[in-house]
Amino acid sequence: MLSHRALHRLAPALFTSQRGLPDVIPGPPPARFLSTGGAMLPWGADSLGHASKLFQQYGRVVALVRGGGMRHISTDPACPGTVLAYGAEAVERATSDHELFVKMTLVGALHPGPDPKPRKKPLLSFGAGLFAVNGDQHKRHRRLLAPAFTRKRLAGYAEQMIRLTDEALRTWNVGETRSLDAEMRT
- CA–CA distance, 78 with 157 (Å, rounded to integer): 43
Shared domain for 87 and 157, answered yes or no, is: no
Residues 88 and 164 in one domain: no
Q: Do 14 and 71 belong to one domain?
A: yes
Which whole-number Å values give the CA distances from 136 to 97, 104, 148, 169, in the listed order?
Answer: 12, 15, 20, 43
Same domain, 128 and 161: no
The range of the structural domain enclosing residue 160 comes to 150-185
3-class DSSP assignment, residue 152: helix
Q: Is residue 145 part of a domain?
A: no
168-185, pLDDT tens digit by residue? 999 999 999 998 888 887
Examine residue 144 and state whether it is found in any structural domain, yes or no.
Answer: no
What is the C-alpha separation between 7 and 4, in angstroms, rounded? 5
Would residue 117 count as lying in a domain? Answer: yes
CB 95 within 8 A of CB 130: yes
Is position 141 within any domain? Answer: no
Whether 52 is covered by a domain: the verdict is yes
Sequence letter at residue 149: F
Same domain, yes or no, for 8 and 100? yes
- 112 and 37 co-located in one domain: yes
Shared domain check, 100 and 170: no
Q: Is residue 58 part of a domain?
A: yes
Question: Considering the entire predicted model, what is its pTM?
Answer: 0.53
Q: Are residues 118 and 51 in the same domain?
A: yes
Domain co-membership, 155 together with 82? no
Residue-level pLDDT at 4: 43
pLDDT digits over 102-149, tens only? 666 655 555 556 677 776 766 666 656 666 677 788 788 889 889 999
Domain total in the chain: 2
